[in-house]
Structure formats: C-alpha cells, structure tokens
C-alpha cells in the first residue's frame, strides 16, 4: 500500500474554518434560517446567540449563518470583538455605514435611507470623531439629524441608530443581519446597548437580526447587563457531537476521497476526542498523514495518538497558559486535579491550600476575564476549554 497523499488530506483543523462535513448542526442552521425568513416576511423573532466551549465550532456556525442569510438576499455585517475595552463602540459607525450602503447604493436612497444616513452622521461624530463621512444630494451635503443618536451615550444612541437603519431596510425590502463573534468580550454597557437595540427593533417590527456567538457565561453576562435579555434571544448551546455525528465527521471526508476507516479506528478516535469538533479534525488530519494506506486501521489511530496530543498541546492548549502568573496557573492546576467537569469553588480553594479566600477569588476573576474558566452556576467553576484538565495534568 502507498501512503495517503497529504496534499489531498481533507481534514481542516483551523480556527473558524468550515470542516469538510459540518455534522450535527443542521437543526441550528434551520432555526437561524427561520429567524431570517420570519423577518423577511414582516414578522418578528428573537436574536440568535450560540454559546459553547472553545473549539466546538461557534465561529464556523457564524460563517454558515452568513452564507444562509446572503443566499436569502439579506445584508450581512460581521464583526469579531477583540479583547479591547469599548471596541464595538468605536467600530459600530463603520459597521452601520457598510450595512446602509448594502441596503441600497446612496444614489438610490429613499427618504428613510437618507434619514438613516443623517442619523449615522451624528452618531459617527460622537463615537468616531476622527473619521468623516459625507453624502450629498442635489449638490447639497446631507446634514446630521439633530437630537437622534448623537448624545454620546452608546447605550442610548445605539437603539436610535438601529431603528433608523431598520426603517431604511424595510423601505428597501431588505433584511439586515448583524453577526457578532466573541460577544463575551463586550463590556457591560455595550451588551446592554445591543439588548436594548434588539428590544426596540422588535417593538417596531423592523427587519434587523442580531446574532452571534460566545463562551458559556454569555447568557448570564447579558442578563446581568440588561434584566430582560434572556427574552430577547434564542440561546442554543453547542458542545461535543453525538457519536453518530462525530463518526460522520471523520468517515465522510475520508470516504469522499476514496479512503476507508475501520470501525474500530473510528470508535477509538471518537472516544479519545470525546466528539469535540476541533479535536476530530486534528485527529483526522494526523491519522491520514501517518497511515500506510486505505483502510485506516485501529493501529494507525493508536500510533497517532501521541502526535495528536503533541499537536494539540502546541497549537491549542499551551498558548492559553503561556505567561500566566503563578497564582493563576496554580488555580488551573488545582481545578484540573479535581477531574473533568465543573467543581465547587470551595473545592478548588482546598486543593490550592490557599491561605486567603481573597487570593482565590481574585485569581478566578482574572481567569474568567482571560476566558479560561467560567461559572456554570453560583459557587461552581469549570474550564471553557474542553479537555483542558487532561492537558494540564499531562503538561505539568
């Protein structure tokens, strides 16, 4: 048998890259498509925010949402929130401008679109004073709409701007979809502004979808920012794939390339990865490159496991602990020592043998801020990264 050609390896373990077979996510895609279709039909619906651990395919889903929306003729504006305070506030004028110009070219604007441009100009002057956007009609420059979205308070102004944009979209028979990734990086005021904007859009029946993705703590953070947030959004949570879908994620791409995988090898890889999508892609790529040929055997899977661990350690896990202070690393190691799943904060403190509950709490708060742990419920803590406990025990 000749080795499998690495050039034609179908597996794609890259952040945000669509896998060759997007297994187990059809229901989520159908539900999002329904939200877009309802708004296009003049109905209202909640926003749609997917949550889950790292590496489960949230960003991939947002990419699929964008494709679905564009296929339906919607205007899509996508933004990944960096871990920088106030980033959305500064960026939003450009996002709104892009959406408005996609709703309709300026030369074809009607009354609602011209008003939205005027509202945006006033908004931009407050939140992006270094930038300038001017549009002229009949030789005269379009003026800002005074008193609308120009107070300088993002929480108050964003709903006004989104309402104006929604009115323009409705006048031009378009749906606007705002996709926001890594929503947990937004500060409390930005989260509150998004929720209030969605509330306004629903009340007015305007065709703007707010959708996004973030870590599992996001529903709690959003509700903390605005008490009625849980009623403004659908909150589907994704995680590991059921075994049947995990097997399909490995078997189907190989089969399309004319390569078979033995049943025992499939079972071994699914069991070891626990069905986490990113890990499946890494294992698939590694076993393909290492196998002597088709079919890929159980022995191929077993022999590849060490290299899979090394790849994940280097590319997925180790970067998350690089440079951590001793206290925070000690917290992670104590949590890892308790095993997989969530554990009580008090149990972590005992495992740390900490001399101060304040030190434990401050370490946990910093790790939450870094996106490494979260609280599934009051008094408990868990990793945001699947199999992180296994990595930490292996590496330290």
Per-residue pLDDT of 326-380, as tens digits, reads 999 999 999 999 999 999 999 999 998 866 667 788 999 999 999 999 999 888 9
Q: How far apart are CA 396 and CA 391, in angstroms?
A: 8
Q: How far apart are CA 343 and CA 196, in angstroms?
A: 34
- 26-234 and 323-395, same CATH topology: no
Q: How far apart are CA 162 and CA 331, in angstroms?
A: 42
Q: Which residue has the tokens 């895609």?
A: 29
The domain ranges of the chain are 26-234, 241-319, 323-395
Domain 241-319 bears CATH identifier 1.10.8: yes
Picking from 47, 30, 39, the residue whose alpha carbon sits closest to that of residue 73 is 39
The arithmetic mean of pLDDT across residues 296-301, rounded, is 97
Tell me the pTM: 0.91
Cis preceding-peptide flag for 48 (omega within 30 of 0): no
**pLDDT band of 146, cuts 50, 70, 90:** confident
The arithmetic mean of pLDDT across residues 248-265, rounded, is 96
- Residue 6 scores a pLDDT above 70: yes
- Residue 139 scores a pLDDT above 60: no
Q: How far apart are CA 315 and CA 319, in angstroms?
A: 7
Q: Who wins on pLDDT, 28 or 355?
A: 28
Of 3.40.50.300, 3.60.40.10, 3.10.450.50, 3.40.250.10, the CATH number of 26-234 is 3.40.50.300
Angle subtended at Cα 308 by Cα 302 and Cα 313, rounded to the nearest 5 degrees:
140
CATH class of the domain at 323-395: mainly alpha
Rg (CA), the chain: 24
* Phi, then psi, of 136 in degrees rounded to 5: -115, 145
Q: How far apart are CA 214 and CA 270, in angstroms?
A: 25
Q: What is the DSSP letter of 234?
A: E
**pLDDT value for 307:** 96
Return the exposure string of 57-96: e unless at least 16 CB atoms fall within 10 Å of the residue's CB, then b.
bbbbbbbbbbebbeeeebbbbbbbbeeeeebbbebbbebb
């Amino acid at each position: 048998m000749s080795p499998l050609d690495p050039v034609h390896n179908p597996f794609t373990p890259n952040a945000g890259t669509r896998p060759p077979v997007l297994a187990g996510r059809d229901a989520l895609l159908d539900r999002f498509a329904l939200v877009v279709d309802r708004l296009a039909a003049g109905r209202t619906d909640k926003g749609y925010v997917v949550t889950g651990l790292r590496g489960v395919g949230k960003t991939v889903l947002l990419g699929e949402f964008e494709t679905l929306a564009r296929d339906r003729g919607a205007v899509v504006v996508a933004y990944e929130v960096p871990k920088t305070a106030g980033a959305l506030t500064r960026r939003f004028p450009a996002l709104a401008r892009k959406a408005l110009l996609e709703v309709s070219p300026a030369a074809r604007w009607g009354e609602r679109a011209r008003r939205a441009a005027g509202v945006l100009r006033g908004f931009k002057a407050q939140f992006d004073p270094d930038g300038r956007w001017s549009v002229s009609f009949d030789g005269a420059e379009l003026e800002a709409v005074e008193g609308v979205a120009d107070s300088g308070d993002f929480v108050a102004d964003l709903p006004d701007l989104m309402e104006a944009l929604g009115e323009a979209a409705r006048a031009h028979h378009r749906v606007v979809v705002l996709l926001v990734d890594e929503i947990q990086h937004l500060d409390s005021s930005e989260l509150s502004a998004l929720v209030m904007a969605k509330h306004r859009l629903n009340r007015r029946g305007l065709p703007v979808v707010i959708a996004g993705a973030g870590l599992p703590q996001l529903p709690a953070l959003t509700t903390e920012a605005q008490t009625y947030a849980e009623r403004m959004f659908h909150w589907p949570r994704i995680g590991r794939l059921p075994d049947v879908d995990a097997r399909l994620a490995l078997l189907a791409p190989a089969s399309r390339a004319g390569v078979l995988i033995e049943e025992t090898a499939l079972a071994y890889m699914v069991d070891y990865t626990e069905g986490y999508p990113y890990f499946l892609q890494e294992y698939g790529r590694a076993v393909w490159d290492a196998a002597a040929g088709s079919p890929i055997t159980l022995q191929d899977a077993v022999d590849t496991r060490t290299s899979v661990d090394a790849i994940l350690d280097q590319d997925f896990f180790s970067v998350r602990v690089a440079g951590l202070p001793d206290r925070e690393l000690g917290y992670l190691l104590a949590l890892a020592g308790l095993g997989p799943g969530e554990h009580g904060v008090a149990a972590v403190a005992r495992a740390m043998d900490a001399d101060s509950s304040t030190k434990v709490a401050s370490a946990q708060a910093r790790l939450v801020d870094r996106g490494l742990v979260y609280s599934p419920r009051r008094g408990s803590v868990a990793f945001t990264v699947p199999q992180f406990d296994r990595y930490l025990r292996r590496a330290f």
